[in-house]
């Protein structure tokens, strides 16, 4: 069973609600999200004036801008080197379109996930030399490219690193690449006030700085936020502070875009309503990511850049097809990983480290994420690579375990390694796998409580008190995501009037509940079948069958839920989306 607890950060919410004339629940939610009172207005109504930080507060920004503008003035050839995921795509497009206002001497390159591996490489640098490139700008990568930056300088190239990933540390000492400029808010001596930008966010701040230096307004390039919003949502960075404005304004740009590639992808994925955070994160983003996983990430960039409409339409179809293939490979790999874990002593480990030979290395991260969700344990999924004896893996973690810093202690066992507290990528000699698994688990300080899935409830709230006005106020807290999750409310002793599994696959639970003589509709998607069986065991099959027919059997449940408005045939009603029950 999941462990429920109430978030008590917002204890003084009554005083705050009276002071700011807001609903007490809204005040509590803001305080629970560590939003200071002076930032309430900025959070509830983000604008360019109250959200943008001065880009020149970022370390090396002035230096990077000067180098780029000097290169543009000289007519130098500039090459942008990105990453093969959605944030990499967004970062590349932000720089290509942003710099495209000032120069045509632009090109880009992206490493092939399998052939080249992550980030800028010596072979990419050699290609730059061959093509007469003068300046390389990395985006969404480069902070760990220590030898590669040295190599670029040796070859007579200038190189600017823009990145957002954790810096490399050796014996606790931060090591920054030797480059002409390194723009990354994660640097310990960087004074930028908001550290949680994605790669595209850092790229956007660079473009903002260039525009300011050229005498333009900071808002001059906001059409680029259509890309930045994609990267921000899909890279799962905190949806607070500057990122909040990026996404809100970026969604407006997306829903009014004149980019034919984006229009085609929206059409091809059959999105009928306005694009929102969900459709970005679970429909559009995965399609663009699929190119880098199973083919070349350049398809995703060309979707947005190509001026031939037939080509663009073809790219959109390819991306959707690749994503369908990716889903199939993920499902097969997940089933194999579960089988290995369940049939070995791996399942007893605190940190699940599983080698699933033969699966496509590009889906290791997705599978690791799903395994992590299933077992609520930090997980690494490895598979074989093109290099004999070398395995590649991706890790996903839980809040209680900083996978980057914990794994960094064993860097000597790896061939490559990078990431952040919640995710990592690494490769190692297969012969080191057992040693790594043993050492990482021997050094685990995770407790049973750490490994119990927790549901943090924002507030207890009588379900019968939910009304349309409150739901509309809750909507002002959107977009929801990391660091600003959907509000979770809790209520006890609701009587179940009726309940049944519905849907094509009978995997959705639909309820009619009663609280204080008010009938309330409710629905449950996640783990619905598992919870149905739990209720059947708890109350007996006869009673549960009676509930299908709407007979009151005195079945009472506690629920964790968030309220929403459900519209069907132009009729709106309040519906509770149940996240967990007992």
The DSSP string of 247-272 is HHHHHHHHHT---HHHHHHHHHTT--
Q: What is the DSSP letter of 280?
A: I
Beta-bridge partners for 394: 381, 425
Which H, E and C letters describe 213-241, residue by residue?
HCCCCCCCCHHHHHHHHHHHHHCCCCCCH
Helix, strand, coil: what percent of the chain each, to 5?
A: 45, 20, 35
Is residue 426 helix, strand or coil?
A: strand
Edge-first strand order for the sheet with 423-429 is: 352-355, 379-384, 390-396, 423-429, 414-420
pLDDT at 552: 77
Q: What is the DSSP letter of 445?
A: -
Of 277, 253, 251, 280, the C-alpha closest to 265 is: 280
Is residue 250 helix, strand or coil?
A: helix
Q: Does the structural domain 344-442 have CATH classification 3.40.50.2000?
A: no
Q: Is the sign of the CA dihedral 118, 120, 123, 124 positive or negative? A: positive
Domain boundaries defined on the chain: 3-8+454-581, 50-255, 257-329, 344-442
**Spans of the chain below 70 pLDDT:** none
**503-526 per-residue burial string, b: 16 or more CB within 10 A, e: under 16:** eeeebbbbbbbbbeeeebebbbee
For residue 172, give both structure tokens.
């606790």
Residue 477's alpha-carbon distances to 348, 473, 575, in angstroms, are 40, 8, 18
Radius of gyration, alpha carbons of the chain? 25
pLDDT at 114: 81
Residue 91's alpha-carbon distances to 95, 108, 249, 371, 383, in angstroms, are 6, 11, 17, 29, 28
Of 427, 411, 414, 436, the C-alpha closest to 353 is: 436
Q: Fold for domain 3-8+454-581?
A: OB fold (Dihydrolipoamide Acetyltransferase, E2P) (2.40.50)
pLDDT at 316: 98
The kind and range of the H/E element at 50 are helix 48-51
Residue 573's alpha-carbon distances to 563, 566, 569, in angstroms, are 11, 5, 11
pLDDT at 322: 97
pLDDT at 117: 80
pLDDT at 548: 83
CA distance 362 to 289: 10
CA distance 451 to 301: 40
Task: Say if CB 92 and CB 82 are below 8 A apart.
Answer: yes
pLDDT at 418: 81
Task: Say if CB 327 and CB 316 are below 8 A apart.
Answer: no
Pairing, β 518-524 against β 352-355: unpaired
142: alpha, beta or left, given left = phi > 0 and alpha = psi -120 to 50? left
Task: Say if CB 119 and CB 163 are below 8 A apart.
Answer: no
Predicted TM-score (pTM) of the model is 0.92
CATH of 50-255, one of 3.10.20.90, 3.90.1640.30, 3.40.50.2300, 3.40.50.720: 3.90.1640.30
Could you tell me where the beta strands, DSSP code E, fall in 273-326? Answer: none
pLDDT at 421: 87
Of 412, 343, 417, the C-alpha closest to 380 is: 417
Could you tell me where the beta strands, DSSP code E, fall in 397-546? Answer: 414-420, 423-429, 454-457, 459-460, 489-502, 508-515, 518-524
Torsion angle, alpha carbons of 411, 392, 148, 133, to 10: -160
CA distance 207 to 97: 9
pLDDT at 151: 98
CA 16 to chain centre: 31
Q: Is the sign of the CA dihedral 202, 204, 209, 213 positive or negative? A: positive
For residue 512, give both structure tokens.
């009619």
Phi, psi at 150, each rounded to 5°: -60, -40
Is residue 395 helix, strand or coil?
A: strand
Helices 309-342 + 364-375 axis angle, to 10: 40
């Amino acid at each position: 069973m999941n462990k429920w607890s109430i978030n008590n950060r917002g204890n003084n919410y009554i005083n705050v609600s009276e002071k700011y004339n807001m609903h007490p629940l809204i005040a509590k939610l803001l305080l629970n999200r560590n939003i200071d009172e002076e930032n309430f207005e900025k959070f509830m109504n983000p604008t360019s004036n109250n959200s943008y930080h001065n880009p020149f507060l970022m370390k090396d920004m002035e230096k990077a801008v000067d180098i780029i503008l000097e290169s543009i003035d000289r007519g130098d050839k500039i090459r942008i080197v990105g990453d093969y995921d959605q944030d990499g795509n967004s970062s590349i497009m932000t720089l290509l379109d942003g710099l495209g206002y000032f120069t045509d001497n632009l090109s880009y390159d992206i490493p092939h996930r399998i052939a080249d591996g992550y980030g800028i490489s010596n072979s990419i640098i050699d290609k730059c030399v061959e093509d007469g490139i003068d300046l390389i700008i990395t985006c969404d990568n480069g902070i760990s490219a220590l030898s590669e930056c040295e190599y670029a300088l040796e070859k007579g190239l200038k190189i600017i690193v823009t990145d957002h990933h954790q810096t490399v540390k050796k014996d606790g000492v931060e090591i920054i690449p030797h480059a002409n400029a390194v723009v990354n808010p994660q640097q310990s001596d960087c004074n930028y006030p908001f550290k949680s930008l994605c790669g595209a966010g850092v790229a956007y701040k660079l473009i903002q700085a260039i525009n300011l230096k050229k005498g333009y307004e900071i808002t001059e390039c906001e059409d680029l936020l259509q890309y930045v919003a994609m990267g921000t949502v899909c890279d799962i960075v905190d949806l607070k502070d500057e990122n909040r404005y990026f996404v809100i304004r970026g969604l407006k740009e997306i829903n009014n875009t004149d980019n034919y590639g984006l229009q085609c992808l929206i059409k091809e994925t059959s999105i009928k309503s306005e694009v929102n955070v969900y459709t970005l994160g679970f429909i559009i983003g995965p399609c663009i990511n699929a190119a880098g996983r199973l083919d070349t990430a350049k398809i995703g960039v060309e979707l947005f850049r190509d001026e031939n409409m037939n080509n663009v339409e073809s790219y959109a179809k390819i991306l959707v097809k690749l994503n369908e293939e990716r889903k199939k490979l993920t499902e097969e790999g997940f089933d194999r990983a579960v089988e290995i874990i369940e049939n070995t002593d791996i399942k007893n480990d605190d940190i699940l480290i599983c080698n699933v030979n033969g699966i496509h290395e590009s889906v290791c991260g997705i599978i690791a994420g799903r395994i992590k969700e299933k077992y609520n344990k930090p997980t690494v999924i490895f598979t074989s690579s093109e290099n004999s004896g070398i395995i590649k893996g991706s890790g996903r973690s839980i809040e209680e375990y900083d996978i980057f810093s914990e794994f960094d202690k064993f860097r000597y066992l790896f061939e490559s390694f990078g990431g952040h507290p919640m995710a990592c990528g690494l490769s190692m000699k297969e012969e080191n796998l057992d040693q790594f698994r043993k050492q990482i688990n021997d050094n685990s300080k995770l407790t049973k409580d750490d490994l119990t899935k927790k549901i943090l409830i924002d507030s207890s709230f009588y379900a019968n008190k939910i009304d349309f006005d409150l739901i509309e106020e809750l909507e002002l807290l959107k977009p929801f995501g990391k660091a600003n999750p959907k509000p979770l409310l809790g209520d006890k002793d609701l009587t179940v009037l009726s309940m049944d599994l519905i849907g094509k696959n009978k995997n959705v639970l639909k309820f009619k509940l009663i609280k204080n003589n008010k009938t309330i509709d409710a629905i449950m998607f996640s783990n619905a079948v598992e919870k149905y069986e739990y209720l059947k065991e708890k109350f007996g099959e006869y009673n549960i069958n009676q509930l299908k027919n709407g007979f009151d059997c005195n079945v009472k449940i506690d629920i964790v839920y968030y309220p929403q408005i459900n519209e069907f045939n132009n009729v709106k009603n309040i519906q509770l989306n149940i996240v967990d029950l007992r």
